[in-house]
Amino acid sequence: MSQEMPQGKREEFEAVVHAINSRDFDTLAVLLHPEVEFHSTLVGLEGEVYVGINGLRKWARDVDETWEGLQLEVVDYRDVGSEEAVAVVDNHGRARTSGVPLVARRGAVLTWRDGKPWRNVAYADPADAFEAVGLRE
């Protein structure tokens, strides 16, 4: 992990995405709230929530079983008040079984608790994430 902590919420979220891309769970444990929740659109049963660092480890295993080389890239980010934001994230990878490339743009509503990222609710359509917080894309 870098010696410098991220300065703003966008930078903090980008550091989280970087740690997810490299599967750096030690860094994620420092950056994220201990009770972090991730509601994914890529894997898991509908309604399944990945909780805590062990939940993120399970999410990564689930993703890696289906997608080869999954990488996330933040392409838009907007603060919504002091404890919430919306992010648009591109997902790139390749299906393990078929080799079909994954190029998908997703939206996420991000919530902070105790000064750390706590909840990430992903949406298959970024417009739905903006709508969830009363904004337009």
3-class SS at 91?
Answer: strand
Helix (H, G, I), strand (E, B) or coil at 23: coil
Evaluate whether 98 touches 81 at the Cβ level (below 8 Å): no
**Residue 114 forms beta bridges with which residues?**
none
Higher local confidence (pLDDT), 96 or 4: 96
Q: Lowest-confidence range among 32-36, 45-49, 61-65, 127-131?
A: 45-49
Output the pLDDT for position 45. Answer: 54
Q: Which domains does the chain show, CATH number per domain?
A: 9-132 (3.10.450.50)
Percent of the chain at pLDDT exceeding 90: 82
**Per-residue confidence (pLDDT) for residue 1, from 0 to 100:** 44
When pLDDT is cut at 50, 70 and 90, the band that residue 137 belongs to is confident
Q: Are 87 and 77 in contact (CB under 8 A)?
A: yes
Relative to beta strand 116-123, strand 101-113 is: antiparallel
Q: What is the mean pLDDT of the chain?
A: 92
Above 50 in pLDDT, residue 50? yes
Per-residue pLDDT, 46 = 59
Number of H helices and number of E strands within the chain?
4, 6
pTM score, whole prediction = 0.89
The tens digit of pLDDT for each residue in 9-40 reads: 999 999 999 999 999 999 999 999 999 999 98
The pLDDT of residue 2 is: 45
- Predicted confidence (pLDDT) per residue in 107-133, tens digit: 999 999 999 999 999 999 999 999 999
- Please state the rounded mean pLDDT for residues 33-49: 83
